[in-house]
Amino acid sequence: MTPNGNFDYTHRAKKQNRADIVSSVCAYLSAATLYFSSVFVKGIKYVPVLQLLALIAVVIGVFINQRYTWTSFVYGIIPKDTETGELYFVVYRVTGKRQSCLVKVDMAGLRELIPCTAKDDGKARASKYPSAERYNYCASMAPAKYTRAVFRADGGVAVIAFEPDSTLLSMMENVYKLVKTENDI
């Protein structure tokens, strides 16, 4: 899918698991249990507290659905300037028919690619950047495999977690090698 039609390469992240569905169903079941307990069980002293907890559980379920179930992400590399060959890394959020650009960062600012798994989430390597802004654009709630990309731009550092496919990851690694050799010179 190409939101604006001029991508050199795009990848729509596929969900790696169904943790979002399980979590939202648990939240809704908890809400129903709390609410119906407050209505039908006699002798409960704190009925408003149970109903408030039920409302909070519903809000949590809706949040999980909005963030993980109804939303997908498209990652891409687009040309910044066709003559110089400079590139942007972009992330689009797609919810229904609405698409919005969340990230558009110059690939020349790429400082590190950190592969992560469920067991080793790369926090040790990412902790080299304590003041960095952190963004999670993973489509899965608890992905088994994802990547953290470290970018430096406008005097700040950003660590972006996302789920690339092998083609996008190899393109980013090639750009990283070029950027690294240019910075070493």
What is the tens place of the pLDDT at every residue in 42-60?
888 888 999 999 999 999 9
Query: If you count them, how many residues does the chain have?
Result: 185
Model confidence at 163: pLDDT above 60:
yes
pLDDT tier, 1 (very low <50, low <70, confident <90, very high otherwise): very low
pLDDT band at 178 (very low <50, low <70, confident <90, very high): confident
* Angstrom distance (rounded) from CA 21 to CA 65: 8
**What are the φ and ψ backbone dihedral angles of 78, each rounded to 5 degrees?**
-120, 155
The residue to which tokens 């943790």 are assigned: 19
Between CA 124 and CA 110 the distance in angstroms is: 18
Q: Examine the pLDDT at 104 and tell me if it is beyond 70.
A: yes
- DSSP letters, 57-109, are HHHHHHHHIIIIISEEEEEEEEEEETTTTEEEEEEEEEETTEEEEEEEEEGGG
Lowest mean pLDDT among 72-76, 82-86, 139-143: 82-86
Mean pLDDT over each residue of the chain, to the nearest integer: 85
Average pLDDT (133-146) is 88
* Residue with more model confidence, 151 or 7: 151
Q: How far is CA 27 from CA 5, 95, 174, in A?
A: 39, 22, 43
State the pLDDT confidence band at 3, using cuts at 50, 70 and 90: very low
Distance separating alpha carbons of residues 151 and 158, to the nearest angstrom: 5
Q: How far is residue 89's CA from residue 172's CA, in Å, rounded to a whole number?
A: 9
Residue 165 predicted with pLDDT over 50: yes
Greater pLDDT, 184 or 113: 113
For the record, the structure tokens of 84 come out as 């110089």
- Is the pTM here over 0.85, yes or no? no
